[in-house]
Structure 1
Amino acid sequence: MHPDQWNDRLSRMRAAGLNAIQIYIPWNFHEVYEGIPRFDGSRNVTHFLSLAAQNELYALVRIGPYVCAEWENGGLPWWLLKRENIRMRTSDVRFLDAVQKWFDILLPRLKPSLHKNGGPILMIQVENEYGMFEEGCDQTYTLFLRDLIRQHLGEDVLLYTTDPADYLKCGSIPGVFTTIDFGTNSRAQIDSNFATQRCFEPDGPLVNSEFYTGWIVTWHQKGRVDPSVNDLMDGSMYMFELGASFAYYMFFGGTNFAFWNGAHAPSAVITSYDYFAPLTEAADISEKYIAIRNWIKNIEGWPNPPKAIPENNPYVLNFYHHKLLCCRTMNRLSKNISASMVASLASEETLLHFAEGHSIRRRYPMSFEQLDHPFGFVAYRSRLLKSGGNLTISVIKDHGYIFVGETYQGMLVDSLHEYQKRWILINGQSGDNLTIIVENRGRQTFETVNDYKVCHLKLYFETVG
């Protein structure tokens, strides 16, 4: 959401009777380019936290370094992939060094907002669902995070982890409070989940850090996951009866602007992160919102009683003027190049780069990461050695738009759920320019693979007839 909307969304959450919010801080959003951290505008997390306090809301802050959130690369910066064969979310020294530099910048900014210092932050989450990571038992890594956070914020800061109940063994960290996450389940399953948490936290409170109000939507997905109001409220009331604390995930989801959506195999997450949450993507009041507010209103002695139900905001259609340099792609690419950057609307620097006709000649295609190009599009160009035929590309991440000369031939697709297309019949003559504009549709957010974006080295061309 835009910073101008922060107070409105927070006030709507407070009006429902909530007493706290839980937020992520995606590392890659603040340090798009290595060594250039930003905390201005939509990245001004301290201002956001001050607004939360003004709205009588505590904050639970999930600092990562990996956050998931169906966000581009799970919040990890793309430039980490420039370190050959780096093992992210492990004790790989190169990864730990980068994390330390980032936390040395971030954590001092958060310290004044801790509850002990008069701010709204009650708890800090370490990593995110680490037990589900295939290399998620690297305790050297998790202890490093724990100790680094305490070094900056103090030994008394309350740290916590979040994992599904079946993944607590590797997700838990000694000396860090263990919480679980789950969605709408039967009461028996809720009992079972909390019983598992009790094995790791015999004396602490029961906590479900992510009680799912809905689910994400990916491109080409069929159907949706949208729990009923009755199921959502039954789970809420039963957990409250058990004395448990829980966070609605999401209460407000918002929008993945620009290229910040991640990919959740086997497809990319759509621009909307509505999540079928109590507050819609436009912050409208939903049936779920009304049900939650009415329930909280009737809880005797609740310290944050609901306020008046806010009016829905008016819908305003704004038109903006942009110089869409990407639309001039075919005319601006040099005739003698094999790879060229194409405009990325997420970066003014890239737009200028492209406007100046920046291009790189190489024998083999380079990845987005090797080109220092985080998001958007890259055009790969070569010449046809034969006339028309079947073009096959072994790996393309993620979509490829094929041109011969300036004539569009079709699209290649790495993965859209069950749909995949790796070959195309093209029409052209020997010597014609073949251009493949590759679109990065978001790096994997959950699997945490090294998701390089590239048109693979090998192209197979078979003449027809």
Structure 2
Amino acid sequence: MSKLTVVGKELYMNDEPIQLISGAIHYFRIVPEYWEDRLLKLKACGFNCVETYIPWNLHEPKEGEFNFRGIADVERFIRIAERLGLYVIVRPSPYICAEWEFGGLPSWLLADRNMRLRSYHEAYLEKVDNYYDVLLEKLKPLQQTNGGPIIAMQIENEYGSYGNDKKYLTYIKEAMVKRDIDVLLFTSDGPTDLMLQGGTVDNTLATVNFGSRPVESFAKLHEHFPNTPNIVMEYWNGWFDHWGEQHHQRDSQDAADTFAEMLQSGASVNFYMFHGGTNFGFYNGANFDENYQPTVTSYDYDCPLSETGDLTPKFHAVREAIAKHKALGELELPEPIPKKDYGTVQMTESIKLFDALTQISKPVRKTHPETMEQLGQDYGFVLYRTNVKGPLGEVPVTIQDVRDRALVFVNQEFKGVIDRWNNNTLMIEVPEEGVQLDLLVENMGRINYGPLLNDPKGITEGVRVERQFIFDFEIYTLPMDNLEKLSYDKTETFAQENPTFYRGTFGVDDIGDTFVELSGWKKGIVLINGFNLGRYWEIGPQQTLYLPGPLLKKGTNELVIFDLHGQQKAEVALIDTHKLG
């Protein structure tokens, strides 16, 4: 059976040199009905390979409970690529980064406050082994060595940006090998001394990740590995967005010219991303530079294919670069996916969060305000309730520390926001009879990159009134995965700053892609027929949520919105244009 191998400074397939022109497409950011459409466009652009990460948290959402259905059916995605004649590179490392929640690590790891991530820590490695027992058994028959399309797999992802535990890296490699993974194994790191020293493994192919200056980057790779091929595993031709930033864009011709330079030099290139897709639900990650930076719902990434799968100018510039390098023939594309304007949806029913608590959550009593992970919850919100005795007059309330953003209520009246952006204290009035204090904490996405990766959510230490810690809490977990239990009333005009669920319905005759425009809404989430589309926030840059047609059905469809701060008018528009900038 043929196998991708390294011979000196070249890649070989079937005893012939091969240049891989690969593109990253994440199956978990695309509805399954569109996998083939995106892969056909990858091939039409001139690529011969697709690369994908595999996120652990999607496939083992609860410890010991595995999910490979629907959007998590990675085997189906790989078989579609095979049928279309594409090679496949898989990156199943426990950690993937990818601007994905917690870098793909499952949140339940953090229920153990002594957990050590991405190192030779036996408690961590035991969890990895249990996951690999299931995952790698599914990937094994899909390997090229068993007649499948997978030609290479990654051991760990940009590990040199995090640590230098070679014993850990060797363990992960051996964990794959002993489970019969026998295709080409590799690592990928930034092109610096520190990263290449820390992230590579003996007798394993080293690759580099960068967005520019390929000559310098490959030169650095060869300083450490003189006899290795030029392979960029992530060529960053675009970038991702955080809330409150401008939408990132890179000149199409500039990206294509750098790509062409690498092709002409004989390098193998993996475009990161070829098509980005969407961080549906609560799966967006976050960064921490000088401050916490949560990533938006859209993962458009300024790609050759937009978030909605449309060809961009970058697609044509990249295809032209490939066409100068090898014959492509005429451009053949699948049928276009229609965009639909379904008009205005009236959110005719609603229920305030405080009225809905007992419908969707069972409170637990705890001495301390425990973290989301300690409560057995992965994503969403937690409401912490306690009583503060009076009289105290005007006093500061401090959350030590909040992950990530808390709405503060006194006797269910909104008083302000405490968050992790250097805003941890709020003044409240406590009269003689005392007050009920409610803290609604939102998990806005666990950090996916860097030294602050261990990022438990909720309230991680405690709540203080002045210098005194407050104890005895009633806690409501709100993962927002059971909203079908809600009983709504007719929508009325509520006081602003009152978290509320809204429900509306609309009819569909012809199904197509559409976009939820939320003019006048502040911050929250949107669900369509029970599927969580993701977050919105008025600070942008994202102004609409992409709603893929396969999530709709002919006839009546249900739209549910949970808004944290109230709205100007209880309606939304379903339009045919995406607004990212």
TM-score calculated relative to the size of structure 1: 0.87
Q: Aligned equivalents of 1:461 and 1:118: distance in 2?
A: 65
Matched residue type, 1:250? M
Change (3 A) 1:263 1:58: same
Does the 8 Å contact 2:37/2:334 carry over to 1?
no
Contact map agreement 2:157 2:189 (CA 8 A) in 1: yes
- Select the residue among 402, 412, 418 that pairs with 2:418: 412
Matched pairs, number? 428
Counterparts in 2 of 1:144 and 1:462: CA distance versus 1, 3 Å: closer
Residue 100 (structure 1) aligns with = 129
Matched with 1:349 is none
Evaluate the alpha carbon distance shift between residue 219 and residue 212 of structure 1 in structure 2; reply closer, same or farther with a 3 A threshold.
same
State the alpha-carbon separation in 2 of the partners of residues 318 and 62 from structure 1.
39
433 and 139 in structure 1: CA distance in 2 versus 1, 3 angstrom threshold: same
- Answering whether residue 388 of structure 2 is matched by residue 384 of structure 1, we say yes
CA distance in structure 2 between the partners assigned to 1:318 and 1:95 by the alignment: 48
Distance 1:327 1:59 in 2: 47
2: distance between equivalents of 1:324 and 1:174? 62
What per-residue deviation string (whole Å, max 9, x for no partner) do you get for residues 89-129 of structure 1?
00000011110111111011001111122211110011100
CA distance in 1, matches of 2:54, 2:267: 25
Deviation at 1:423, TM superposition (A): 2.0
Task: Tell whether 2:206 aligns with 1:178.
Answer: yes
Please give the residue correspondences for 1:224-373 in structure 2 after superposition, counting only pairs within 5 Å: 224-265=247-288, 266-300=292-326, 302=327, 307-309=331-333, 312-316=336-340, 328-333=352-357, 355=359, 357-373=361-377
TM-aligned CA deviation for residue 411 of structure 1? 1.5
Q: Which residue of 2 aligns with 1:444?
A: 447
Match of 1:11 in 2: 40
Residue type of the partner of 1:241? Answer: Q
Q: What's 1:199 paired with?
A: 223
Separation (CA, whole Å) in 2 of partners of 1:305 and 1:152: 41
Contact 2:369 2:462 in 1 (8 A): no
- 403 and 325 in structure 1: CA distance in 2 versus 1, 3 angstrom threshold: farther
Distance 1:318 1:197, change over 3 A: farther
Per the TM alignment, residue 360 of structure 1 is displaced from its structure 2 partner at its CA by 0.9
Cα deviation, residue 316, structure 1: 3.4
Q: Contact (CA 8 Å) 1:17, 1:307: kept in 2 or not?
A: no
Offset at residue 184 of structure 1 (A):
2.6
Question: Structure 2: how far apart are the matches of 1:317 and 1:148?
Answer: 50
Query: How far apart, in 1, do the equivalents of 2:349 and 2:224 lie?
Result: 55
Contact 1:296 1:306 in 2 (8 A): no
For 2:203 and 2:86, the matched residues in 1 are separated by 26
One-letter identity of the residue aligned with 1:295: A
Segments of structure 2 that go 5 or more residues without pairing to the other structure are 1-29, 468-581
Asked whether the equivalents of residues 264 and 325 of structure 2 are also in contact (C-alpha less than 8 Å), the reply is: no
2:244 aligns to what? Answer: 220
User: C-alpha distance in 2, partners of 1:254/1:330?
Assistant: 34
Q: Is structure 2 residue 187 aligned with structure 1 residue 165?
A: no
Please state how far the C-alpha of 1:426 moved relative to its aligned partner.
Answer: 3.1
Describe the shift of the 1:130–1:326 C-alpha distance in structure 2 as closer, same or farther (beyond 3 A): farther
Deviation per CA, 1:8-47, whole angstroms, max 9, x where unpaired? 1111111111111110100011100000011111111000
**Superimposed CA distance per residue, residues 205-225 of structure 1 (whole angstroms, 9 cap, x where no aligned partner):** 21011111111111122x454
Alpha-carbon displacement from aligned partner over 1:330-382 (angstroms, at most 9, x marks no partner) = 1255xxxxxxxxxxxxxxxxxxxx63641111121010011001100000001
Give the equivalent residue in structure 1 for 2:404. 398
Percent identity over the alignment is 34
TM-score between both structures, scaled by the size of structure 2 = 0.70
Structure 1 unmatched runs, 5+: 334-353
Comparing 403-412 with 37-46, greater Cα deviation is found at 403-412
SS in 2 for 1:395: strand
Tell me if structure 2 keeps the 8 A contact 1:402–1:437. Answer: yes
Aligned equivalent of 2:174: 147
Q: State the partner residue of 1:339.
A: none
Q: Distance in 1 between matches of 2:196 and 2:239?
A: 22
CA RMSD of aligned residues (A): 2.4
Cα pair 1:391 1:424 within 8 Å, conserved: yes
How far is the alpha carbon of 1:458 from its aligned partner? Answer: 3.5
Shift of 1:228: 1.2
Mean Cα displacement is larger for which, 108-117 or 43-52?
Answer: 108-117
Select which of 425, 429, 433 maps to 1:423.
425
Q: CA distance change for structure 1 residues 357 and 45 in 2, over 3 Å: closer, same or farther?
A: closer
Matches within 5 A, 1:454-465: 454-462=458-466
Q: Secondary structure at the match of 2:370?
A: coil
Task: Tell whether the 8 Å contact from 1:283 to 1:312 is kept in structure 2 after alignment.
Answer: no
C-alpha contact 2:279 2:298 (8 A) present in aligned 1:
yes
- Compute the displacement of 1:246 (Å): 0.6
Task: Report what 2:577 is aligned to.
Answer: none
Instruction: State the distance in 2 between where 1:325 and 1:173 align.
Output: 58
Q: Deviations over 1:277-310 (max 9, x none)?
A: 111111111000011112223323x5x6563255
Maintained 8 Å contact 1:179/1:208 = yes
> Contact 2:49–2:87 (CA<8 Å) still a contact in 1?
yes
Amino acid at match of 2:438: T
Structure 2 vs 1, CA of residues 218 and 10 (structure 1 numbering), >3 Å: closer, same or farther? same
Q: 1:213/1:310 Cα in 2 relative to 1: closer, same or farther (>3 Å)?
A: farther
Q: Distance in 1 between matches of 2:342 and 2:267?
A: 44
> Does the 8 Å CA contact 1:17/1:305 hold for their aligned counterparts?
no
Equivalent position SS for 2:418: strand
Task: Summarize the Cα distance change of 1:327–1:253 in structure 2 as closer, same or farther, 3 Å threshold.
Answer: farther
* Structure 2 SS opposite 1:403: strand
The separation in 2 between residues aligned to 1:64 and 1:326, in whole angstroms, is 43
Contact kept? 1:16, 1:306, Cα under 8 Å: no
Instruction: Give the drift of 1:390.
Output: 3.0
Alpha-carbon distance between aligned partners in 2 of 1:294 and 1:88, rounded to the nearest angstrom: 43
Q: Give the secondary structure class of the aligned counterpart of 1:282.
A: coil
Change (3 A) 1:70 1:432: same
Write the mapping of 1:86-97 to structure 2, written as runs, cut at 5 A. 86-97=115-126
Partner of 1:345: none
* Counterpart residue number, 2:565: none
**Could you tell me how far apart the structure 2 residues matched to 1:326 and 1:207 are?**
54
Quote the residue 1:209 is aligned against: 233
Query: Secondary structure in 2 aligned to 1:396?
Result: strand
